[in-house]
Structure 1
């Protein structure tokens, strides 16, 4: 293999993405508290026993403020 092929293979490998394995549990995002910077994945709200409003929006367990929902951008994580 020549020098050019080695460089081309290296560049090609650096742009490949890892397989999408995160999110297989049905998660579509996470809830964030802007004041506390606390993050809770949407699939963990019920497990954590958080208080929720009539629309299902959880309240931050630290400060009690409503949390903001952010959807994943297809990156494989809810970050």
Structure 2
């Protein structure tokens, strides 16, 4: 197999999957952020409706919606 054929196969395989490392089947709508620590917690990892406290400093985290379709809340 030629190097061009190998590269073509790798590129085709990388664009076929819509799963970009998301380990859960749940659809994330954003993430909770701590403005002081920069800590991030995905919304699907939080139980309950109230904003969680930051695991690092204990302050209440704020919710930020994801604007993309990649599952990233950035």
Question: Shorter-chain TM-score: what band?
Answer: 0.5 to 0.7
- Per the alignment, residue 58 of structure 1 pairs with 52
Structure index of larger Rg: 1
State the distance in 1 between where 2:53 and 2:43 align: 12
Secondary structure in structure 2 of the residue aligned to 1:70: strand
What stretches of structure 1 move > 4 A for 4+ residues in a row?
17-20
Deviation at 1:27, TM superposition (A): 0.9
Show CA shifts across 1:8-27 (max 9, x none): xxxxxxxxx88654575221
Pair 1:72–1:18, CA change in 2 (3 A): farther
Paired residue total: 56
Query: Is 1:68 aligned to residue 62 of structure 2?
Result: yes
State the distance in 1 between where 2:34 and 2:55 align: 9
Equivalence map 1:1-79=2 (5 Å)? 20-21=18-19, 25-46=26-47, 56-76=50-70, 77-79=72-74
Unpaired segments ≥5 residues, structure 2: 1-14
Secondary structure in structure 1 of the residue aligned to 2:64: strand
Q: Root-mean-square deviation (CA), in Å? A: 2.5
Unpaired segments ≥5 residues, structure 1: 1-16, 47-51
